[in-house]
Copies of this chain bind each other. A is one copy, B any other.
Amino acid sequence: MDFSLNEEQRMLQQSVAKFLGDTYSHETRRKRVREGSDLDGDIWRQFAELGWLALPFAEEDGGLGGTLVESMILHEEFGKALVLEPWLAAVTLSGGLLRLGDATQKKRWLEPLMEGRLQAAVALEEYGTDLSLTDTSVKARPDGSGYRLDGGRDLVLNAGNADILIVPARCEDTGELSLFVVEAGQPGVTVQAHRLVNGQSAGRLLLEDAPVSTESRLAREATAPLAAVMNEALLAMGAQALGAMSALLEQTLEYTKNRKQFGTPLSGFQALQHRMVDMFIACEQYRSLLLAATLKTNEGHEDAARAVHALKARIGQSGRHLAHEAIQLHGAMGMTDEMPAGHYLKHLVALDLLFGNSDQHMAELVADETITI
């Protein structure tokens, strides 16, 4: 059992922290959020130049062969800095699925993605239903050698920026759940983009008789790979949440040590001290959960998926706890756009609601109690 970072991992952590320290001041970020700029081309190019975009991919695909531990390091820092760029949609989800393609497809999409030249999105959610990786209203109707896609999906992360969108669709001929790649702007594809509460963006995808060729089919039966990629996404979100929580705790400690009331620093009040201790405990327990879920998944343990559900459930529970307490302890200042606390809350709420909220992941745990994590 070893929980220490190796030399390369420590360097990665330092370089991510340094880069974000330089590019992601709270003021710059606030300005970008107001302007609706969730993707800064320069930053994305630097992601590519620093090699980070290639990090999670296998060496035979031209990647750097990073493990889930490297991903955890990166996303914890992303969460601290509240990075707006659509990494989750473009790299973790889209990149994760593009790995399924054949050599031609990888060359066409994965390579430019790793080089920062291609933006991508995956259409996963629909309003008014629980997240399901197998149910979809998108149908693929056979049409000659290819298919025609019909249906719609909501809240497709990064849809407005994406050059390509990956769409799971139920094939009417075989009943398989296949993955198709459609291009933004191709016939039959409409995207209605909008901001999200956390400053990132998403969009509604409408498919009306959209033609896709068999070369655009990434996978014939995608249920298992979708679940695997979703687990990686949940781990990345989990690491972002830890970054946000630990920043909230740190900033609250800092604020209460400096802010005086009735002649004493707020941090001197015992009732507030004990609440900050509870924030600390929640944050440390959450950190342990992230380690558990990441390492179990990385090493392929049989209870890995269960640990990921546990982690995702706690994003909502511990995340809100930390953010609510941080705002409360900041007093009225905590309610201003000027202080970071509210921005962390917004991101944590988004991380909670996306891809199944706390209740839904708790329900997954309850559904199968034969395993104990």
Contact = CB atoms under 8 A, between A and B. Distances in A.
A271 interface: yes
Interface string A257-291: 00000000000011101100000000000000000
A270 B269 CA distance: 7
Nearest to A274: B271
**Contact residues on A (Cβ < 8 Å of other chain), bracket:** under 10
Interface of A: 269-271, 273-274
A240 B270 CA distance: 34
6 contacts: A269-B270, A270-B270, A270-B271, A271-B271, A271-B273, A271-B274
A269 B270 CA distance: 7
A147 to B, nearest CB: 43
A98 B270 CA distance: 57
Contacts of A271: 270-271, 273-274
Q: For the complex of A and B, list the 6 residue pairs with the smallest distance between their C-beta atoms, beginning with the closest.
A: A270-B270, A271-B274, A270-B271, A271-B271, A269-B270, A271-B273
A366 to B, nearest CB: 14
A274 B270 CA distance: 10
A122 B50 CA distance: 77
A273 B270 CA distance: 10
A273 B274 CA distance: 12
